[in-house]
Amino acid sequence: MKTLNDQSIEFPFIAPHLGNMDTEQNAAKSPAKAAHVNMMTDCIIANMPADGLRSILRGLLGENTSNTAGLTKLAAKYLANTKPSSIPELFSTSGGSPRPTSDLQRIQSRYRCLMGCGFGFESVELLTSVIQQIHNLEWDERTAEGEEFLDILATIDGDIVQSITAVQKLLLTSSGMRPMNTEDSKTIATLREVLHACRRIAVARGQDFPCDRGLCCLEKLIEGTGSEIQPLQRNEIRRTNGFRSSKSALESFQLGPAEVPRMFMGLWQFSSPAWGTASRSKIDRHFRKHVDSGLIAYDMADHYGDAEVTFGQFRSGQEDSEKIYCATKWAVFEPIQVTKEVVDANVSERLTAINSTSVELLQFHWQDYNDHQYVEAARLIEMHPNVQSLGLCNFDSDHMCEILESGVKAVSNQVQFSLIDLRPTFRMAESCRKHNVKLLTYGSLCGGFLADKWVGKLAPNLFDENMTPSHRKYFEMINIWGGWILFQELLNILAKIGSKHNVSVSSAAIRWVLDHDYVGAVIIGARMGISEHIDENLKAFSFALDVEDKGAIQSVLNRSRAKDVFEAMGDCGAEYRQIRRKAQRSNAQTESGSIAESLNQPPTATHLRGEMERQTPPNATPSGILDTSPPQTSQSWVSEGLQQVGILSREAQFGKFSLENILSVPDVLRPHPPPRSPTPSADSFNDPITCNMLSFPVALGLFDSFMRCLNPYICQLDPKLHTFDYVRQRSSFLLTAILSASSKAFHPALHPTLRSHTENLLGRVFTRGAKSTEIVQAILIFTYWKEPAEIRTWLLVGYAIRMCIELGWHELKPVTQKPRNSTDELSIREARNIERTWLVLFVYDRSLSLQLDKPWMIDQNNLISKASEWYQEEYAVTSGDLLLSAFVCLRLISAEFLELSSSTKSDSQKFRSEILSKLLNTELNAWEKDWLPKFEDEMVPPPQRFLVNFYGLHLRLLLNSYTLQQSLKAAKTGSAVSKSALWQCSSSAIGMLENISKVIGPLKQLYFVQDSVHVMTAYASIFLIKLLLSLPKNLRSDLETQSLQAILLSSDTFSEQCATQMTGCAMQARFLKNLVGKYHRLKSHASNQVRDHGVHSHQPDIPTSLESLHNRMDTDVGTSYQVPRPVQSYQDTGELTDTTSINGSTPDFSTDLLHDKEIWDGLLTDAGFWMSEGNLLSDNSLPR
């Protein structure tokens, strides 16, 4: 049975009863809506999956907490309008043992929403109806069905606890709990009566009462509110006399008068059923198991559901109760008047809840620092005779020191601290050492993410049924800290350390926290009755991290945003109070900097831009933006020549090529007024964060993941220039394109929304005719990681090129010839940003031309000719610009030889083709000798070493295929097949596939490669298959084994790294595997034909279908998995082979198998390649 396990419930305001809400009456009083939801937004809401809506809603609330009240108000209205007229049957007994019906989940969802909206009494009424249906149900606890049904009842028991907590919050006032009124009392009395009736039936049957936790909380509520309901007369439970220290078998420390182990068990699981629920008997058994293992210290709170009550009842029933340590909390979230009486009442409430005469450690949380009563409250707690020690909870360094320096003695402060949240290392550490305070740390396992099961895994769906509120909280923390990929690097380091010491990732993470001298203990969340990791946790005490271990961990932490998190989020506990160390910043974007500006890095673009803006004239045009202001027209008819470009209006040459401008007479008599500066915030309406598509922390994490993991593959952006703030300020289109590409890999639930927004912005750019460096970059990024059916790459890249030509980039001078107008870093980086984008476009343009056999658009100019020196210039991007320079040089080689190859199609020029092949391979050898050693430097990321080898092999294969084609065609007349061309092609294709399986595959980064890698992989594989079909048996035998093995290993490598069946890796894996399978079947079919008809049987001449085959593959390379043609366009027929001998050998494939169009269409389509579109097919499109 699935139940809705939502995050822990908060109560932002005290709401009226739903029963008092008259919808029609209230509707009349409600103000009219200020705006409507437009059609496109409504389309998103109507079609977004539920988990996507939850993620978006969570992002909205995280971005602006003021939305919480509005959400709660609208949710309350919805609940009022959808109140069921009756409760359906929630349990079925048709199969013997009772089972829940589908209506139970719906009802559970409803009363949990009621709790969340503050309707505690209404949730109690609905729960009462549910429990009434349990009265007469019978089940056998000894059967699997009975055990499963008890687990379902345990969730209902947890819901009762939660509803009682909701009621307590409604009754809580600044002076304590108010009495219930008559209506409230009746609601509570009815629930109590129903629960006791159920209990009597369970006792009569000799069964455990499944709602014991809920009933106990209910009785505590009745006792504490002074209501008209008479408390139940029950046997007095023995109260413990507190903790007595004894020598711990575990690593321990001194906390006030007590010696306690350095590992506490946290009981926040009890605050919500979202962590799972269990029966009281299971919970008690788990408690006992922990105590017997030496884990005797427990952390709880007044707001952790029935944690105190459950713990107190367990401890009171143990003979060794004095060995069990209790640390609970008094959390003051709402304004109160601090008096001795109020403190006494709250301490007394804690003692009653834990069934003890004293509390070992009472930890104090105070929400509002502006109310300085927290010092007096802390003093009264410390002086209380029934409190052994005062601890603090989520106090920052300044306010902790304020309390301690006022003379109050606190022994601990409970804060969040882990490898992901390093804030305590900045200021808190020194404050603790100064005042001899120990930290009790929570979140040290990052909500369970610091565990072996997450090593090598993709980012999770946060609203999967196995995800808890802790997962959702700490996943956002991971994104802020450095992103999922850097987190995976950390996990891999911890896994290696764990393997070295025979411990788990979790144990290594715990040990790292414990090794800080100001840490007293870590608090590990315990899901009592649900799961336990006792042995694994205890192993944290079994080893020590050595210098090598700590160095390896630190190498990852040095690349995180630890300082940025401290600057942006604030000191310890600030996240709960929504304060910052510096002044409050709007969207983390002000003059003082942002989270993306690391304090230990060189000045970032944001700082540099501030300096530049102070030195730039008001009307200066930002770098990379087309200056559409009119030129100096007074000279336009005087100094120009007689050509059309010089005579017509110059405005038409500055990005305003319109009939109006062409037919206008230049105004030579008066100057134009100065242009109005663009409104800086005009683009902010398209910002995906402002549009509430995702939260700021998630956007920041996706951006960082893109720059860290995806940008190295495309060499597009300068990490020092393109900070999050810089990109967000410059272009919402570029920011959205980056986040969309990143979300496809790291947050798939967000990808459809971001991809759609990118499409919308692309359309707006096109219709407005806008031009800028950022727009070009956004278009390119949009094409790198496409949807499987995308076919617009050729058109979009062409549009981007024309945009750049209008910006004047085709006239860019090489680095050695152009003067620098400015020497400041920002100006230089922005100038190189333009140059880099133009060089990327050149490589892209020539690649598309090579693959599609279409003309290129960008001519070679001085900048491109001198690109081999460009990566050495000042402020070059290490390794990224190196790779780009290498690719430009590689494309220059391919362009030169394609021009020469165009004249070698005739048979009479076979000799010239062979000479050209030798020259080609000599040039490629020189390129490899010159460039490949540069990529052996350890500063070059492994993906870029892979790319330079992979692309080099691809070009060698592609260009040598011309010579091989000529050789195979000539072999029909008895000439020998060129062994050199055969070797160059086959070894290059196999080398490409081995780079996939042996180089990039083990790095677990194949998932991030751009689509062109998939294109080239598919091409190499198809080339090998077709080559095997073209060769005689004596040449094919050895090559066949190597080729098929390389293809299958690549298929396995792709398969290991695919997340879903619609990813490029999954589709590529299926395609390669199916291709080999089809080859074997085709080979078997050919052998049967030879055996049945004889090798000398005549086959009629069949026009070649290879031209058709390649032409049909030559659709837009913009599709995700386009296969480029291996040779030039074929104009003659009969290439490759027929039934005549090749070099004296008879092939075992008949002519029609190789040339027949239908056979090849069927082979590739069945393998997963749709020839007419050049796409890899999704799994559900394949023939069955």
Q: 285 with 421, same domain?
A: yes
Looking at the structure, tell me whether residues 257 and 221 fall in a common domain: no
Mean pLDDT is lowest, of 24-33, 110-119, 140-149, 242-251, for: 24-33
Spatial contact of 1139 and 1151, defined as CB atoms under 8 Å apart: yes
Per-residue pLDDT of 1030-1065, as tens digits, reads 877 777 777 888 999 999 999 998 888 775 556 778
Residues 268 and 220 placed together within one structural domain of the fold = no
Is residue 627 within 8 A of residue 656, CB to CB? The reply is: no
Indicate the Cα dihedral angle 615, 617, 618, 624, nearest 10°.
-90
Higher pLDDT, 645 or 441: 441
Indicate the residue type of 724. Answer: F
655 touches 806 (CB < 8 A): yes
With 60 as the cut, is the pLDDT of residue 1149 above it?
Answer: no
Mean pLDDT of 531-535: 80
pLDDT > 70 fraction of the chain, expressed in percent and rounded:
73
At residue 12, the pLDDT reads 34
Half-sphere exposure of 72 (CA within 13 A, CB side): 20
- 264 shares its domain with 379: yes
Same structural domain for residues 260 and 176?
no
Q: How confident is the model at residue 795 (pLDDT cuts 50, 70, 90)?
A: very high
Which tokens in the block code for residue 532? Answer: 């336990």
The answer on 384 and 296 residing in a single domain is yes
Q: What is the pLDDT of residue 513?
A: 97
Q: How confident is the model at residue 406 (pLDDT cuts 50, 70, 90)?
A: very high
Q: Which of 739, 766, 785 corresponds to the end of one domain?
A: 785
Q: Which is it for the CA torsion 881, 882, 885, 887, positive or negative?
A: negative
262 domain residue, yes or no: yes
Distance of CA 693 to the CA centre of its chain: 14
pLDDT at 288 over 60: yes
Report the alpha-carbon distance of residue 901 to residue 915 in Å, rounded.
11
Domain extent at residue 101: 18-29+36-225
Tokens of 890: 């590689």
Check whether 1172 has a pLDDT greater than 60. no
Residue 293 and residue 195 share a domain: no
Would residue 339 count as lying in a domain?
yes
**Position with higher pLDDT, 755 vs 467:** 755
Residues 110 and 155 in one domain: yes
Residue 914 has pLDDT above 50, yes or no: yes
Q: Are residues 193 and 280 in the same domain?
A: no
Across 639-645, average pLDDT? 44
Residue 53 included in any domain: yes
CB-based contacts of 763: which residues, under 8 Å, 6+ apart? none
Instruction: Show the tokens assigned to 711.
Output: 């940008």
Burial class (CB within 10 angstroms; exposed 0-12, middle 13-18, buried 19+) of 1172 = exposed
pLDDT at 407 over 50: yes
**Residues counted in the chain:** 1184
For the chain, give me the number of helices (H) and strands (E)? Answer: 45, 16
pLDDT band at residue 520 using 50, 70 and 90 as cut-offs: very high
Mean pLDDT of the chain, nearest integer: 77
Give the per-residue pLDDT at 175.
54
Mean pLDDT, residues 828-834 taken together: 91
Kindly give the pairing relationship between strand 91-92 and strand 1169-1170: unpaired
Confidence of residue 35 (pLDDT cuts 50, 70, 90): low
pLDDT at res. 758: 94
Mean pLDDT throughout 126-143?
84
Give tens-digit pLDDT for 226-248.
Answer: 555 655 555 555 677 778 777 77
* SS3 readout for 585-618: CHHHCECCECCCCCCCCCCCHHHHHHHHHHHCCC
Q: Is 624 left (phi over 0), alpha (psi -120 to 50) or beta?
A: left
Bridge partners of 331, per DSSP, are: 365
Model confidence band, residue 625 (pLDDT cutoffs 50, 70, 90):
very low
Written as one string, the DSSP assignment of 686-716 is: G-TTTTTSS-HHHHHHHHHHIIIIIHHHHT-
- What average pLDDT does this structure show over 138-166? 83
977-987 mean pLDDT: 86
pLDDT one-digit tens code per residue, 654-683: 445 444 444 544 443 334 444 433 444 446
Residue 1107 clears pLDDT 90, i.e. is over it: no
Pair of tokens at residue 794: 């050729």
Name the domain boundary from 750, 785, 820: 785
Asked if residue 294 and residue 408 are part of one domain, the reply reads yes
What is the model's pTM?
A: 0.49
Given a cut of 80, is residue 101 above it in pLDDT? Answer: yes
- Closest of 781, 839, 798, 797 to residue 815, by C-alpha: 839
Contacts of 909-916 with C-beta under 8 Å, sequence gap 24+, read 910/966, 910/967, 910/970, 913/962, 913/963, 913/966, 914/963, 914/978, 916/962, 916/963
CA atoms of 307 and 272, how far apart (whole Å): 10
Contacts of 142 (CB under 8 A, 6+ apart): none
Please, where are the H alpha helices in 1096-1150? 1106-1113
Q: Domain for residue 711, yes or no? A: yes
Residues 332 and 196 in one domain: no
> Is a pLDDT exceeding 50 seen at residue 609?
no
The last residue of a domain, from among 766, 785, 804: 785
- 201 and 263 co-located in one domain: no
611 within some domain? no
- For position 309, which CATH number holds? 3.20.20.100
| Residues 1139 and 1095: beta-carbon distance below 8 Å | yes
Contact of 1018 with 1123, CB cutoff 8 Å: yes
73 inside domain: yes
Higher pLDDT, 1170 or 566: 566
Most confidently modeled of 357-371, 974-988, 1008-1022?
A: 357-371
Spatial distance between the Cα atoms of 957 and 1020, rounded to a whole number of angstroms: 8
**pLDDT score at 338:** 92
| CB neighbours of residue 386 within 10 Å | 15
CA 334 to chain centre: 35
3-state secondary structure of 657: coil
Can you tell me the distance from the alpha carbon of 1049 to that of 1063, in angstroms, rounded to the nearest whole number?
18
* For the ranges 117-126, 412-421, 709-718, 958-967, the one whose mean pLDDT is highest: 412-421
Is residue 261 in a domain? yes
Q: Which residues contact 383 (CB under 8 A, 6 or more apart)?
A: none
pLDDT band (50, 70, 90) for residue 629: very low
Q: Which contiguous run of DSSP H or E holds residue 577?
A: helix 574-577
Q: Give the pLDDT confidence score for residue 786 in this predicted structure.
A: 81
Q: Is residue 351 within 8 Å of residue 359, measured between CB atoms?
A: yes
Quick count: other Cβ atoms within 10 Å of Cβ 798? 15
What is the Cβ-side half-sphere exposure of residue 912, based on CA atoms within 13 angstroms? 11
| Radius of gyration in angstroms for the set of CA atoms belonging to the chain, rounded to a whole number | 36
The model's pLDDT over 918-949, given as tens digits with 9 standing for 90+, comes to 888 888 999 999 999 999 887 888 888 999 99
What tokens were used for 448?
Answer: 């369970």
Q: How many domains does the chain have?
A: 3
CA distances for 819 relative to 612, 823, 877, 949, angstroms: 19, 10, 20, 35
Whether 454 and 484 have beta carbons less than 8 Å apart is answered as no
Q: What is the pLDDT of residue 597?
A: 31
pLDDT at 1144 > cutoff 70? no
- pLDDT score recorded for residue 1182: 41
Residue 699: inside a domain, yes or no? yes
CA distance 524 to 783: 45
- pLDDT at position 323 over 70: yes
pLDDT at 816: 53
